[in-house]
Structure 1
């Protein structure tokens, strides 16, 4: 209990409290958005599933395409300002969508344009968030900080999904989208109040390399100064790629997740709901499955606050094996309550993995490259997700929905076992003790 209270002491730091509040409100707006956008667009005169598909694709495609450039922005400019821009751009996009739905002026090109602006804003936020956390949280509290931010985000996802649906029912999709925009705007204001501490690229007196020892003034230049150098975007991307590809544990796990996410997207996006409709009891049953997973993510935060493995990437990768459980249960025709328990296990495992992964990247990757490396991480992990969605329907028709779900579980296990063959994944050790660095 004393250790937990010590972790909660992070909230006494006003900077962390502001970042936590901003992140939680932003995730609340993000959770509002899917229900509001889906029912708002489908409620338009003459709208079809194709209309919604166009709008959602217009949002997701720029998010993927812009991710690498967003990493360059977050490494080149102050991350606080990059996050402010992302939150406020998202607010403007959703205010625009809300205005269109409420006014009745809803040409498809305008809806798609606003959705695309939201996709770019989401891409801007992720690498900047990963990079700003070490500028706010002391090095010895990084894991606790990531876990607490995850707790706020997970609670916001649950609350936003429920509140978003209720808002759509009570006042309509347009007003629900306006609420999302307001939440993003307030998050941007809170981020503007955060005063992160600029990180130092190296400490001259303890630098181990001859180059650093010979040039202490250059080595000690704050990260902010490094960002002001005039460099091309392509050079920044190449440098970020070198940092990414030179660490075997990073690119191996990202390759693993490119397959794992493809399987999860197929299972969660198409196959699971299809099975629920056919034999589990319809939308209520699938909502119970998702609720079990959401509760698991909250329980996972409590676990991640306490676990401190010496080999964090090995432990995190091993935790991906139980995440295949719900797909095996669904595919084998297990009762609903058993599959909900499997979803709970998936939520716990994914959340603990996420905290260990993010904390390890923040400790191992140089701060001046962290956002670019995280953008390569996001791009690589998510790039096959749409493929999983595309293949899920044909796979269900070809082999049956049960067998297709079993195949999803098999892909999760095979990709994880392949990652465990990597010496970098098995051998990376966390520092025995991380000393707090004074500003």
Structure 2
């Protein structure tokens, strides 16, 4: 039996295990939620409404969640958010299993789930990296991401099979149980040596302080702006245009699902690569790896064969995972620990705020200019914004420093481990 790495201390194992468990449940629940709406007689539009009901509170409460996580112990915020998600998914499962759920009930429970995610996400960012020493941070986060991505892939596959075998209600119940178990694991994090947080001048003061941290770092706000558009157009291309192209040119849902699975496999491969690689120029390396994100939209615009698209999606998954590791390493290195969650909240807000607008406009844009032109436009925006970010000097020059991070003390070697005093994405 292989011993665990010396840098993988108790808190790191608890955080990683909780994320894998929650990811297995949540990935299947995304499929189950859609099929629960359809099984109750809902239309595809109703499915979209329930999905939007989850996204809207996520956007509304992210910044408040980030400020709160910098005022309270972050692991307590994470556990409370997990409890809210457990309750909302448990009620959703109960409605589906015992009766005829109404659309407003499902939308309300989805909104509660989005609220939990809004408070959980900023609190969780940086916790994994803070649980290991600086020189091991990149490798630790890569292993963490590999487990998270593997859980997402496996959870989606298992969830789809279980929905077909036993129905969506039981899959939602499993997700509720996974949140309960993940929250229990996070409750056992040892934060005894973390300095007590001193509340500032209020939530609004903390939000302004977080904004100053973002606005004062060109490398930070330029990437946040970049991904506010990049995430939006990629989501529109994959959620709206991709299935249409697959139906008309690639052979239907099967080849499209295989291409998406290849992307997920690529992220696991990218995480595995980053357990070994330690590029010195963090953001220059990461930003160069954003360029491949323009390829799937271009491939759909042509359109290429299903086999070629699958290969492109696999390579894109590798590239985006390299960026993710580099980005989180840079944030953890440069942002003061006591302000990390509110800065992370601005990062998350930029990533999700424009997505609903882009998906809503995808159809009208296709009607106006045609689907190929719309897809080429998605590719062009990704490439142009990425090239623009590379023009920012601090993006090109930000250098890795292998120093111990602030925050939760780093883990000591497992053989002589004393309790340390700590994304998911």
TM-aligned CA deviation for residue 357 of structure 1 = 0.4
What is the aligned counterpart of 1:434 among 385, 403, 422? 403
TM-aligned CA deviation for residue 316 of structure 1 = 0.5
TM-aligned CA deviation for residue 381 of structure 1 = 2.0
- Counterparts of 1:75 and 1:131, CA distance in 2: 12
1:245-271 Cα distance to aligned partner (Å, 9 max, x none): 111100000111111112101111111
- Counterparts of 1:415 and 1:8, CA distance in 2: 39
- State whether residues 276 and 286 of structure 1, in contact with CA within 8 Å, keep that contact through their aligned partners in structure 2: yes
User: Do structure 1's residue 266 and structure 2's residue 236 form an aligned pair?
Assistant: yes
TM-aligned CA deviation for residue 435 of structure 1 = 4.6
Q: What secondary structure sits across from 1:194 in the alignment?
A: coil
User: Match for residue 284 of structure 2?
Assistant: 314
User: Match for residue 363 of structure 2?
Assistant: 393
- State the structure with more CA Rg: 1
User: Match for residue 190 of structure 1?
Assistant: 185
- Counterparts of 2:153 and 2:186, CA distance in 1: 23
Please report the TM-score for the alignment, with normalisation by the length of structure 1. Answer: 0.89
> What is the alpha-carbon root mean square deviation over aligned residues?
1.8
User: Match for residue 84 of structure 1?
Assistant: 79
User: Do structure 1's residue 39 and structure 2's residue 35 form an aligned pair?
Assistant: yes
TM-aligned CA deviation for residue 229 of structure 1 = 2.8
- State whether residues 142 and 275 of structure 2, in contact with CA within 8 Å, keep that contact through their aligned partners in structure 1: yes
Which has a greater percent of helix?
A: 1
Moved more, 107-116 or 371-380: 107-116
Please report the TM-score for the alignment, with normalisation by the length of structure 2. Answer: 0.92
What is the aligned counterpart of 1:94 among 89, 92, 113? 89
User: Do structure 1's residue 416 and structure 2's residue 412 form an aligned pair?
Assistant: no
- State whether residues 270 and 389 of structure 1, in contact with CA within 8 Å, keep that contact through their aligned partners in structure 2: yes
- Counterparts of 2:380 and 2:300, CA distance in 1: 13
What is the aligned counterpart of 1:343 among 308, 313, 321? 313
Distance 1:58 1:182, change over 3 A: same
Alignment of structure 1 residues 26-175 onto 2, 5 Å: 26-44=22-40, 46-175=41-170
Distance 1:43 1:373, change over 3 A: same
User: Match for residue 380 of structure 1?
Assistant: 350
TM-aligned CA deviation for residue 322 of structure 1 = 1.6
User: Match for residue 14 of structure 1?
Assistant: 10
Q: What secondary structure sits across from 1:350 in the alignment?
A: helix
1:46-90 Cα distance to aligned partner (Å, 9 max, x none): 322232222221111001111001101211111111111111111
TM-aligned CA deviation for residue 139 of structure 1 = 2.2
Q: What secondary structure sits across from 1:306 in the alignment?
A: coil
- State whether residues 72 and 237 of structure 1, in contact with CA within 8 Å, keep that contact through their aligned partners in structure 2: yes
TM-aligned CA deviation for residue 16 of structure 1 = 1.1
Q: What secondary structure sits across from 1:229 in the alignment?
A: coil
User: Match for residue 24 of structure 1?
Assistant: 20
- Counterparts of 1:88 and 1:258, CA distance in 2: 29
Alignment of structure 1 residues 256-335 onto 2, 5 Å: 256-335=226-305
What is the aligned counterpart of 1:364 among 334, 342, 355? 334
1:115-153 Cα distance to aligned partner (Å, 9 max, x none): 111001111111111132244222222112211111111
TM-aligned CA deviation for residue 7 of structure 1 = 8.6
- Counterparts of 1:409 and 1:229, CA distance in 2: 44
- Counterparts of 2:165 and 2:365, CA distance in 1: 38
Specify every segment of 5 or more residues in structure 2 that has no aligned partner in the other structure, as ranges. Answer: 411-420
Distance 1:396 1:230, change over 3 A: closer
- Counterparts of 2:99 and 2:356, CA distance in 1: 31
- Counterparts of 1:198 and 1:131, CA distance in 2: 17
- State whether residues 207 and 342 of structure 2, in contact with CA within 8 Å, keep that contact through their aligned partners in structure 1: yes
- Counterparts of 1:15 and 1:164, CA distance in 2: 28
- State whether residues 78 and 119 of structure 2, in contact with CA within 8 Å, keep that contact through their aligned partners in structure 1: yes
TM-aligned CA deviation for residue 93 of structure 1 = 0.5
- State whether residues 66 and 120 of structure 1, in contact with CA within 8 Å, keep that contact through their aligned partners in structure 2: yes
- Counterparts of 1:198 and 1:326, CA distance in 2: 46
TM-aligned CA deviation for residue 230 of structure 1 = 5.3
- State whether residues 7 and 144 of structure 1, in contact with CA within 8 Å, keep that contact through their aligned partners in structure 2: no
Q: What secondary structure sits across from 1:76 in the alignment?
A: coil
- Counterparts of 1:105 and 1:231, CA distance in 2: 48
